[in-house]
Amino acid sequence: MSSRRGNTLKRGSDRLESALKATLALVSVALIPLSIWVGFAVGAAQSALADEQAERSTAVTATTTGASERHSTTPAEYVTAGSFDTAPATWTWNGTVHRDDLAVAPDTAAGTSVEIWVDRDGAATAPPLSSGAVTTAAVVSGMFTWFAATSLMVCAFLVARASIDRHRDRQWERELRLFLGEASRS
C-alpha cells in the first residue's frame, strides 16, 4: 500500500525542516543576481566619484627641498602608534610656486621628484580613487550583500530548527509516555 505523502515514518517536522533547507538553498542562489546588481551599482557610484575627483585635481611633480623626517603618532583609544615620513617640497602650479611638507617614502633625499595631486588652487590634495579601488569596492559590496543576506537567513533557519527540535523532543516524550503506559498515571 503506497502512501500519498511519501515516507510514512517521516514526521511533519521533518518535512518542514526539509522545506526550510530547500528554501534556504534556493533563496541563497537567487540572491546572487541581487548581489551582482549591488556590486555594479556601487562600482558605478564609485566610478562617478573617481571621475569627479579627477576633474577637481591634477597630478604634478614636486621636488623635495630637504631630507625626509620621521614622525611618530601617539596611540589613542582606538588608534595604534605608528610613524610616517614627510619632507619639505616645492611645486609650480599655474605659474605660482607652492611649498608644503609632503608625505614621502622613508629616507627620501633632498632633490627627489615626487608625484602629488593638487586641487584647482594648487594645494596638495588626496589622489582620486584608482580603478583598483573602485573595483575592490564593487566586488566587496556585492560579496558582502550576499554574505550578509545569507547569514541572516541561516540564523533564521537555525532559530526555526531549534523550535522544530523542541517540538520533536516534546512529541517523543509524549509518545514514549504513551508507549510505556505513563499517560494514564499522569
**Nearest Cα residue to 58 out of 130, 122, 133, 131:** 122
In a domain, 178, yes or no: no
Instruction: Return the pLDDT at 43.
Output: 96
SS3 145: helix
Summarize pLDDT for 1-22 with one digit per residue, the tens. 444 566 666 778 888 899 999 9
Name the residue type at position 141. Answer: S
For residue 74, give its domain range.
58-127
Residue 17 is placed in which grid cell?
A: 525542516
In a domain, 78, yes or no: yes
Which residue has better confidence, 142 or 74? 142
In a domain, 119, yes or no: yes
**Nearest Cα residue to 142 out of 64, 66, 41, 12:** 41
In a domain, 75, yes or no: yes
**Nearest Cα residue to 68 out of 82, 39, 88, 96:** 88
Which of the listed ranges 41-45, 53-57, 119-123 does the model predict with the highest average pLDDT? 41-45
With a cut of 70, say whether residue 95 has pLDDT above it. Answer: yes
When pLDDT is averaged across residues 154-178 and rounded to a whole number, the result is 91
Which residue has better confidence, 146 or 79? 146
In a domain, 88, yes or no: yes
Looking only at the bridges linking them, the beta strands covering 82-93 and 124-125 are unpaired
Per the listing, cell 614621502 goes with 104
Q: Considering its fold, how many domains does the chain have in total?
A: 1
Question: CB within 8 A of 113, min separation 6: which ones?
Answer: 61, 62, 63
Q: Are 140 and 38 in contact (CB under 8 A)?
A: no
Residue 60's H or E segment, with its range, is strand 58-64
Instruction: Return the pLDDT at 185.
Output: 56
Instruction: Return the pLDDT at 1.
Output: 44
SS3 104: strand
In a domain, 179, yes or no: no
Q: Give the lowest-confidence range in 6-10, 21-25, 70-74, 79-83.
A: 6-10
Q: For the chain, how are helix, strand and coil distributed in percent, rounded to 5?
A: 50, 20, 25
